[in-house]
Amino acid sequence: MTFKTERCIIKPISSNDKQDLFSMCDDIDVWDYLGGSNTANFHRANIENLEKHLPDPNRWTIRDKKDNTFFGYLSLGTHHDGEDTELSYLLLSKYWGNGYASEVVSEMVRYVFNERKLKRLFAETQSANLASCRLLEKLGFYKLRELTRFNAEQSLYAIDSPCKINEIKNTLKQTLDNKRFAHTLAVCETAVELADRFGVDKRKAYLAALLHDCARGLNEEQQRTYCHEHGIELDEYMKADINPVHALIGADMAKQRFGINDQDILDAISRHAVGGENMTLLDKVLFVADGIEPNRAGSDADEARLAAENDLDKAVVLVMTTIKSYYLQGKPMHPNAIKMIKKYTHK
Ligand SMILES: [Fe+2]
Ligand SMILES: [Fe+2]
C-alpha cells in the first residue's frame, strides 16, 4: 500500500531501493541513536536479503513526493514483547528537523488504526533522542516505560486506537446514569480546552476526563467490596466518607478494565476528588474541569471559571473550597485537600 502525505510518498519497499537503503547504513548520525555500527550491520545484512522477503507489506521507503528523493525508511513489526506492533522510522540525518518524521508517523498512525484496526501501536526510541521523544508525545504517544536495549536507555511509547475511546464511551453510557454521563462528556470538553490553554497533552486530558468518574456507577457497598477485592487501602478519612473513594477505584478500573497504562492519566483520575500537594498540570486540568464544566451552575462555578482563564492554581483552590466542598456536608476536609489548598493559595 502506498501513502501520500503533504510532502512525502511512502511506498512499499522494492529491490530498486537497495542502494538508497545502503546509504542509510552509512549515515553515522542515524546509528548513533540506534545502537551504533552493530545495528547498522544488522540492517545492511537485511538489505542484502531484501528480495527474499518481497513483496513485504510491512516495510516502506519515504521519498519526496515531487522528485522521489530518498528520505528514509518505515516499518511495522512485532514488538519484542511478541504481542504488540511496533512502528520504526529512520530518516537520513540531513532531513532531520523538517517535520518529515511527524508527517509520515502521523499518517502511519492513521493507517494502523483505520485500516489495520490495531488497538495499540508501539514506538521505541532512545531516551537521549529528545527530538524523537517530543515528536511521539506531540502525536499522542505516551511513555509506557523505560528499558535498556542496544546498550542504551530506551523509552517505549504507545498510542491507543481511537476505537478504544468509543468502546469506553459505550461502556460508560451503560454503567453511569444519564446525568453523570452528560457530566463526564462535559468534563472532557472543558479538560481539553484547559489543556490547550495551559499546554497540557490534550489526549491525556480527554482520557483522564472520560474515565474520571467511571466508578460512579457503583453504590457504596459495591465500592467497599471493590476496594477489598482489589487491595485498595483506604485511609481513616475515606473509611468514614465514601465520596472520594470513587477516584481511587476509578484509577484502578481505568487500568484493569479499560486498559489505560499511562500513569499520568491514572494519577490524575485518582487525585481528582481530593487533590494533593504535588499536582501535575494534568491533575490540575482534570480537577478544575470537573468543577467548572458547563453543567455546573452558580456564582462559585463562575468565579472558578474566571480564575481558570489564566490562573490554574487559583482555580484549583476555588474548586476545592467551594464547589467540591458542597459534598462534605459538615464532614472534615480530606488532609490531602487541606495540603493542596495551602500549597496552591498564592501568598
Ligand atoms: Fe468524581
Ligand atoms: Fe466528576
Q: What is the pLDDT of residue 43?
A: 77
**Secondary structure element (H or E) that encloses residue 109, with its range:** helix 100-114
pLDDT at 163 over 80: no
State mean pLDDT over 291-295: 96
Contact of 76 with 124, CB cutoff 8 Å: no
Q: In the chain, what are the domain boundaries?
A: 3-160, 163-344
Q: What is the pLDDT of residue 122?
A: 95
DSSP per residue, 140-188: T-EEEEEEEETTEEEEEEEEE-HHHHHHHHHHHHHHS-HHHHHHHHHHH
Contact of 75 with 59, CB cutoff 8 Å: yes
Q: What is the pLDDT of residue 313?
A: 97
Q: Provide the grid cell at 140.
A: 499522542
> Helix count (H) and strand count (E) of the chain?
16, 8
Which residues sit with Cβ closer than 5 angstroms to ligand 1, an ion? 213
pTM: 0.68
CATH of 3-160, one of 3.30.360.10, 3.40.50.720, 3.40.630.30, 1.10.10.10: 3.40.630.30
Decide: residue 200, CB within 10 A, 0-12 exposed, 13-18 middle, 19+ buried. Answer: buried
Q: What is the pLDDT of residue 214?
A: 98
How far is Cα 305 from Cα 334, in angstroms, rounded to an integer? 23
How far is Cα 216 from Cα 105, in angstroms, rounded to an integer? 37
Q: What is the pLDDT of residue 35?
A: 62
Please indicate whether residue 142 or residue 187 has the higher confidence score (pLDDT): 187
Q: What is the pLDDT of residue 203?
A: 83
Task: Name every residue whose Cβ is closer than 8 Å to that of residue 326 and which is 6 or more positions away in sequence.
Answer: none
How much is the mean pLDDT over the chain?
91
Query: For residue 189, how far is its CA from the centre of ligand 1 (angstroms)?
Result: 16
C-alpha of 106 from chain center: 15
Q: What is the pLDDT of residues 236-260, one digit of tens each?
A: 999 999 999 999 999 999 999 998 8
Query: For residue 167, how far is its CA from the centre of ligand 1 (angstroms)?
Result: 20
pLDDT at 108 over 70: yes
DSSP per residue, 35-102: THHHHHHHHHHHHHTGGGG-S-TTEEEEEETTT--EEEEEEEEE-TTSSSEEEEEEE-GGGTTSSHHH
CATH architecture of the domain covering 163-344: Orthogonal Bundle (1.10)
Q: Provide the grid cell at 118.
A: 490495531
Q: What is the pLDDT of residues 117-157, one digit of tens each?
A: 898 899 999 888 898 999 998 888 888 888 888 778 889 99
Q: What is the pLDDT of residue 254?
A: 95
How far is Cα 159 from Cα 343, in angstroms, rounded to an integer? 34
Q: Which ligand is nearest to the CA of 273?
A: 1
Q: Which ligand is nearest to the CA of 244?
A: 1
Q: Provide the grid cell at 32.
A: 548513533
Q: Which ligand is nearest to the CA of 290?
A: 2
478504544: which residue's cell? 164
How many CB atoms are located within 10 Å of the residue 337 CB? Answer: 23
Query: For residue 214, how far is its CA from the centre of ligand 2 (angstroms)?
Result: 9
Q: What is the pLDDT of residues 59-106, one digit of tens each?
A: 999 999 999 999 999 999 998 878 889 999 989 989 988 999 999 999
Q: Which ligand is nearest to the CA of 242?
A: 1
Query: For residue 99, how far is its CA from the centre of ligand 1 (angstroms)?
Result: 39
How many CB atoms are located within 10 Å of the residue 227 CB? Answer: 19
State mean pLDDT over 2-11: 94
Query: For residue 287, how far is its CA from the centre of ligand 2 (angstroms)?
Result: 9
Query: For residue 184, how far is its CA from the centre of ligand 2 (angstroms)?
Result: 6
Q: What is the pLDDT of residues 13-41, one digit of tens each?
A: 999 998 998 888 877 777 766 666 667 77
Q: What is the pLDDT of residue 261?
A: 84
Q: What is the pLDDT of residue 23?
A: 86
Query: For residue 12, how far is its CA from the centre of ligand 1 (angstroms)?
Result: 48
Query: For residue 158, how far is its CA from the centre of ligand 1 (angstroms)?
Result: 27
State mean pLDDT over 179-188: 97
Q: What is the pLDDT of residues 294-317, one digit of tens each?
A: 999 999 999 999 999 999 999 999
Q: Provide the grid cell at 122.
A: 508501539
Query: For residue 163, how far is its CA from the centre of ligand 2 (angstroms)?
Result: 23
